[in-house]
C-alpha cells in the first residue's frame, strides 16, 4: 500500500501554514494542461473517468530532491512530493530493512532498543543511513528531480564515514565495551553482505573488525539485553562465514560461550554449535591430509583418528534431529535449524570424498537416497522461509550452496537459482557469489560427465 504524501502547496504566492484549516487542492498535470477544474484526489475524478495517468504538476521553484514512497510503485505514478530530509528517508528504509532480518526470537525487541539510541551516536547514524540508502536504491523507492547524488552514492559515502569512525573507535587504547561500537560493527557486516557480491569484504570485516570488538567483552560485567542479542546474531553470521569460506571460527571467550548456552534448548542454538564443530573439523581435516607425506600415504595413523572423529561428528549431527522431535512448536527458527541440519550432513560427508586415502576405514557417507532426501529438505523448506518469514535471507546461502553441489536434474538446479535470486531481491547481493560458484561447478560436472561417457576408440 502506498503511503499518502503531503507537501505545503503555494497558493497566490503565499505559503499555507500547517495549522490552516482550509481544504487545499492542487490541480494534477493532465487537468492543468486542459485548464479544467480538478478535485485534487489521486487519481482525480476526471483522470479516472478518462483513463489518464494522474500525476502532480511539474513544479519550478518548489521542488524537493527526492520522492519517498512505501511500496512497489512506478516512479511515473508517484502522486505527490514530500519535503522530507534525506537522512530521515533513509533511516526509515533502514528500520524497514532491519525488521525483515530477525536473527533471533528476541531480535525485534533489540531493534526497538536500537531505535532509542541511534540518534545519539554519529557512528550508528552513519551506517544506518548507508544501509537505508542502499535499500532505497534497490527498491527504486526514491527518484531524483535534479542531478543530485544517487542513493547508492549516498550509501557508500555514509559507509565511508562510519567505517573510519569505527576503526578509530576499536583501535583506541583502553576502550571499554560500548553498545554503539558493537552495533556499528554488526551493521557494517550487514552492509557488506548487501553491497559487495564476492563476500570478501564481509569476511575481512568479521575477522578484523567485529572480532576486535568482542575482545572488549568483560566476563565480570553482565551485558544488557541488547548486547546479548547481538552476540547471538554475531555467532550466527560468523559460523556461516567460516563454513562458507573454509576458515577457522573466531573462538569465543568464556562470556560469549556462556551467553550462547543460556538458550541451549533452542534448536537453533544447538545447530550453531554443530556448525562450529563441523566447520572447525573440516579445516583440520584438509590441513592434516595435505600435510601427510607421500611416503606414508594411506598408512598414516592420523587418517585413522580423522575417520573415527568424522563418524562421531556425523552421529552427533544425526542426534540433533532426534532431540528436536520433542519440540512442541515449529517456528521459523526451528525450520531454519532443520535446513542447516540437512546441509551439515551433506557438507560433512562430502568433505571425505575429496580424497581416496581412506582404504578400508569407516568414514561418514550418505547413499544416493539419503542425499536426495537432504537436498529435497533444503529446497522445500528454503522456499517457504524466503516467502513467508523475516529470517535473514543470507542465512540460507550455505544450505543452498550444499544443495546446489548435489543436484543433478536441471529443474532442481533452476529451483536453487530461483531461491538464490530471491535472496538477492531481499537485498543480499552476496548471493551472486554462490550462484557464480554453482554455475561453474555445474559446467565442470557436465564436462566431466561427457568425458566419462565418450566412446572408446
For the stretch 32-55, pLDDT in tens is 877 777 877 767 888 878 877 777
CA dist 104 to 235, 263, 336, 339, Å?
Answer: 11, 11, 11, 16
Reading the chain (457 residues) residue by residue, the pLDDT tens digits are: 333 333 333 333 333 333 333 344 567 888 887 777 787 776 788 887 887 777 776 544 333 333 444 444 334 443 333 334 568 889 889 988 988 888 877 777 777 778 777 878 888 899 999 999 999 888 876 554 444 678 888 999 999 988 888 777 767 655 555 677 878 888 999 999 999 998 988 888 887 777 666 666 655 555 555 566 777 788 888 889 999 998 888 765 554 555 555 544 577 888 888 998 999 999 999 999 999 888 888 888 999 999 999 999 999 999 987 776 555 557 888 899 999 999 999 999 999 988 888 988 999 999 999 999 999 999 999 988 998 888 999 999 999 999 999 998 899 999 999 999 999 999 999 999 999 999 999 988 877 665 555 554 4
Cis preceding-peptide flag for 43 (omega within 30 of 0): yes
Q: What pTM was estimated for this model as a whole?
A: 0.76
Q: Phi then psi for 248, rounded to 5 degrees?
A: -70, 145
Residue 129 pLDDT: 93
Name which of 317, 320, 341, 104 is nearest 230 in CA terms. 104
Residue 31 pLDDT: 83
For the stretch 147-193, pLDDT in tens is 467 888 899 999 998 888 877 776 765 555 567 787 888 899 999 99
> Are the C-beta atoms of residues 342 and 399 closer than 8 Å to each other?
yes
Name which of 167, 192, 201 is nearest 181 in CA terms. 167
Instruction: Tell me how far apart the alpha carbons of residues 437 and 403 are, in angstroms, rounded to a whole number.
Output: 13
Amino acid at each position: 500500500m502506498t503511503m499518502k504524501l503531503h507537501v505545503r502547496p503555494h497558493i497566490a504566492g503565499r505559503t499555507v501554514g500547517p495549522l490552516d484549516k482550509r481544504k487545499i487542492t492542487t490541480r494534477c498535470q493532465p487537468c492543468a494542461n486542459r485548464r479544467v477544474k480538478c478535485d485534487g484526489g489521486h487519481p482525480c475524478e476526471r483522470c479516472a473517468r478518462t483513463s489518464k495517468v494522474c500525476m502532480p504538476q511539474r513544479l519550478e521553484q518548489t521542488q524537493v530532491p527526492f520522492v519517498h514512497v512505501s511500496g512497489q510503485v512506478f516512479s511515473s505514478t508517484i502522486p505527490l512530493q514530500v519535503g522530507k530530509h534525506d537522512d530521515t528517508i533513509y533511516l526509515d528504509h533502514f528500520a524497514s530493512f532491519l525488521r525483515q532480518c530477525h536473527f533471533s526470537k528476541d531480535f525485534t525487541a533489540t531493534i526497538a532498543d536500537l531505535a532509542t539510541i541511534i540518534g545519539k551516536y554519529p557512528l550508528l547514524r552513519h551506517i544506518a543511513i548507508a544501509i537505508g540508502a542502499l535499500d532505497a536504491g534497490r527498491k527504486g523507492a526514491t527518484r531524483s528531480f535534479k542531478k543530485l547524488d544517487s542513493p547508492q552514492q549516498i550509501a557508500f559515502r555514509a559507509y565511508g564515514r562510519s567505517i573510519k569512525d569505527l576503526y578509530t573507535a576499536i583501535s583506541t587504547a583502553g576502550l571499554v565495551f560500548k553498545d554503539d561500537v558493537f552495533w556499528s560493527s554488526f551493521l557494517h557486516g550487514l552492509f557488506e553482505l548487501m553491497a559487495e557480491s564476492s563476500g570478501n569484504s564481509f569476511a575481512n570485516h568479521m575477522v578484523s573488525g567485529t572480532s576486535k570488538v568482542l575482545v572488549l567483552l568483560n566476563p565480570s560485567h553482565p551485558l544488557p539485553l541488547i548486547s546479548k542479542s547481538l552476540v547471538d546474531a554475531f555467532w550466527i553470521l560468523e559460523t556461516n562465514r567460516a563454513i562458507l569460506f573454509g576458515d577457522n571460527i573466531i573462538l569465543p571467550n568464556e562470556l560469549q560461550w556462556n551467553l550462547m548456552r543460556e538458550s541451549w534448548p533452542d534448536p537453533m542454538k544447538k545447530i550453531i554449535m554443530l556448525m562450529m564443530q563441523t566447520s572447525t573439523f573440516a579445516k583440520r581435516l584438509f590441513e592434516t591430509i595435505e600435510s601427510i607425506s607421500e611416503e606414508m600415504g594411506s598408512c598414516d595413523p592420523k587418517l585413522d583418528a580423522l575417520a573415527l572423529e568424522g563418524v562421531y561428528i556425523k552421529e552427533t549431527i544425526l542426534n540433533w534431529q532426534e532431540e528436536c522431535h520433542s519440540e512442541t512448536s515449529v517456528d521459523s527458527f526451528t525450520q531454519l535449524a532443520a535446513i542447516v541440519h540437512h546441509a551439515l550432513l551433506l557438507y560433512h560427508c562430502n568433505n571425505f570424498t575429496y580424497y581416496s586415502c581412506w582404504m578400508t576405514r569407516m568414514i561418514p557417507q550418505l547413499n544416493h537416497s539419503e542425499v536426495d532426501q537432504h537436498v529435497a529438505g533444503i529446497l522445500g523448506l528454503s522456499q517457504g522461509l524466503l516467502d513467508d518469514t523475516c529470517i535473514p535471507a543470507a542465512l540460507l546461502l550455505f544450505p543452498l550452496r550444499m544443495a546446489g553441489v548435489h543436484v543433478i536434474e536441471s529443474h532442481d538446479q533452476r529451483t536453487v537459482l530461483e531461491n538464490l535470486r530471491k535472496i538477492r531481491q531481499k537485498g543480499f547481493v552476496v548471493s551472486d557469489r554462490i550462484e557464480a560458484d554453482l554455475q561453474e561447478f555445474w559446467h565442470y560436472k557436465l564436462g566431466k560427465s561427457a568425458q566419462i561417457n565418450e566412446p572408446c576408440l
